[in-house]
Structure 1
Amino acid sequence: MRWLESPAALAEALKELAPALAAYPIVVRESRDEDDPVWWSASAVVGERYVAKYAWSEPAALRLAHEIAMLDALPIPHLPEVVASSTDPVLLVTRVVPGRALFDIVDSVDLDDAGRQLAHFLSELHSAATLAGVEASVGALRPASLPPVSTDVLRERFVQWTLPEQRPAVLAWCDWADEVLATPGPTVLVHGDLHGGNQIWDGDQLRAVVDFETAGLAEAEYDLRCFPGTGPGVELLTATQRHYDHLTGRRLSMPRVMAWHLRTVLSDALWRSEAGVPLPDGRTPPAWIDDLTDRFAALGINPL
């Protein structure tokens, strides 16, 4: 497997992999400025019609190669159309999907219908047949990569970013999450990072789910860990759960979803705060603690 030496090598790689696209203008999207080579990857829009994903380190290239393999093996709808792909060099080119991220339109769509569409996608992804087919193609899958940090880390390092009066609740939440997740649930194939930015919607229709770099094995509830913070209240989460349960005949555990959500939200707030990176909504960790309190209350869950 070969990866690019730098972002500047993208044009030459396109000439090698997809000569028909090499003449198009390339607009590189801003990438994260990280010291960790696992993040040395980015994407570019080619001729306003294609998206090229590439990497310039081995860890990032391995993640992208995994996504290439997953897109080739997955037999489900709502995947981006692969135009060209290669692991020598590691490069993935997909057709641009017209639309907007769910984050941008969630306040204007029917959340019950959005939940229905997401439940259909998840029921296909999480099915035993999908997992069997993918593993027959790519081999045995590993756990979904880059999980949220442990509750031990949150107890030790996150509490300093909260208000003193919030700290007992945060520590109690961590104890509760440990208890809820103490016994692993049945594993399925999960996307692994199904936040609103990885969903492309055209009006009120789900068009594509992107970024399968972290896909792997986890319990079904893990894939809904970002839903409680998407949109007003928790309606998208409860709608997705309701339709998912009906489609699959399996009942998702809301406490398990919220235990993963708690760890995910606090992990995100922790690394951003320690790195001096603003939280996505420009607010503070104490405000996010208040949000979590409201979500637990709306779902009738008492983690204290």
Structure 2
Amino acid sequence: MHLTWLDEPTLDAVRDGLRRVAPDLADATIVPRGLEPADDPQWCAASAVVDDRFVVKFAWAQPPARRIWHETQVLDALRAAAPRLPLPEVVTASRAPAMLVTRRVSALPFFDIRHLIGPADRNPAARDLATVLADLHHPDVLHTVSDAIGPPPDPTTQAATHTTTDTLRDRFGVLVRPDQRDRVLSWCDWADHTLAAPGRTVLVHGDFHGGNHLWDRHTLRLRLIVDLETAGAGEPEFDLRCLPADCGIDLFTATVAHYQELTGTNLDMHRIMAWHLRTVLGDALWRAEAGVALPDNRTPAQWVDSLTARFTALGTFH
């Protein structure tokens, strides 16, 4: 069956798609999230809560339709490859149109609960993060998923905020203070050197930021990992690249320690921070150039200051 997608970003189009994919839900209450026109086909996708019990993902262009179908295949393969992973329960999925319906879970994105994690909660939270990543990164998982769906893509080229260091050198300097420009250039040179040799290869989530792992607000334990649209073959360090900022240094380093204990393998902190650098500056660049506010409403220059503080705390870059 050929891959297709919705004709337009409207509630009527979503209902029409549900009539073909999940007829019982077509007349239910639909609360869309991100259902608005986009100039770039890459962003022509959204989700909705249906009947307060289900989450449906859909697209109205080919690139996100492909990502939705890829996620559907990955979730199916991971059921056998990593049964302990806290994955969404798939209710139904379709290629024509590309739709993925999962059961809704009462949980919050990590961004919404991280301020509640105090010193006493840090170790369990770190263990939860490390356990999920260790299970996903087990060598057998990549082999099983590859056998089921074919070779997964390279997430470093699939990530929405992928930005090369050459791009950062050329265009980031105008966004920061004059005293920060040489620092950014040095960081880019350091990241290129650090990532010049390839790392080991595992199955990675590809976009493991604080909006894509969901937590119980009462127990402060991880309940679900979501949005595996860019899951693919990459190095473990790539999956930890958002944690230094999302979690803070103490929770991040605790997660690294638990991961190494669980897997019996070492993580290269320099590689994590090189990917972190590219991700943070890339995110700031595209948002600034698109006229989109940074998530915390600060400036790119302030993000550079925060990066400097994280490098100093970790002793990673000199």
Whole-angstrom CA distance in 2 between matches of 1:199 and 1:156: 34
Greater CA drift, 124-133 or 256-265? 124-133
**Deviation string, structure 1 residues 167-220 (Cα, Å, up to 9, x no partner):** 111110111111100101011110010000011101311111100111111110
Q: Which residue of 2 aligns with 1:199?
A: 213
Q: CA RMSD in A?
A: 1.2
Alpha-carbon distance, 1:31 to partner: 4.2
Residue among 213, 218, 223 paired with 2:234: 218
Equivalence for 1:123 = 134
TM-score, with structure 1 as normaliser: 0.97
**What is residue 103 of structure 1 aligned with on the other side?**
111
Q: CA deviation at 1:32?
A: 6.4
Letter in 2 for 1:221: E
**Which consecutive unaligned segments of at least 5 residues does structure 1 have?**
none
Q: In the alignment, which residue of structure 2 is the partner of 1:57? A: 61
1:275 counterpart (261, 267, 290): 290
Residue 48 of structure 2 aligns to which amino acid in structure 1? A
Cα distance, 1:256 vs structure 2 = 0.4
Distance 1:34 1:266 in 2: 23
Q: Identify the residue that residue 296 of structure 1 maps to in structure 2.
A: 311
Residue equivalent to 1:7:
9
Q: Is the 8 A contact 2:169 2:188 kept in 1?
A: yes
**Out of 72, 87, 93, which is 1:85 matched to?**
93
CA distance in 1, matches of 2:310, 2:280: 12
Shift of 1:34: 3.0
Matches within 5 A, 1:96-245: 96-109=104-117, 110-144=121-155, 145-146=158-159, 148-203=162-217, 204-231=220-247, 233-245=248-260
Which secondary structure does the structure 2 equivalent of 1:167 belong to?
Answer: helix
Q: 1:148, CA displacement in angstroms?
A: 2.2
Structure 1 Cα separation of the partners of residues 89 and 58 of structure 2: 16
- Give the superposition deviation at 1:140: 1.4
User: C-alpha separation between the residues in 2 aligned to 1:289 and 1:239?
Assistant: 24
Structure 2 partner of 1:94: 102
CA distance in structure 2 between the partners assigned to 1:34 and 1:229 by the alignment: 28
| Corresponding residue for residue 37 of structure 1 | 41
Could you tell me how far 1:30 is from its partner in structure 2? 2.2
Distance 1:180 1:32 in 2: 40
CA distance in 2, matches of 1:235, 1:295: 11
- Whether the aligned pair in 1 keeps the contact of 2:128 and 2:222 (CA below 8 Å) is yes
Rounded Cα–Cα distance in structure 1 between residues aligned with 2:107 and 2:151: 34
What one-letter code is carried by the residue in structure 1 that aligns with 2:210?
A: G
* Mapped partners of 2:193, 2:148: distance in 1: 36
The answer for unaligned runs of 5 or more in structure 2 is none
CA distance in 1, matches of 2:186, 2:279: 16
Aligned length: 302
With normalisation by structure 2, the TM-score equals 0.92
Aligned 8 A contact 1:230 1:236 in 2: no
Question: Given that residues 142 and 233 in structure 2 are in contact (C-alpha distance below 8 angstroms), is that contact kept between their aligned partners in structure 1?
Answer: no
Q: Partners of 1:267 and 1:111 in 2: how far apart? A: 29
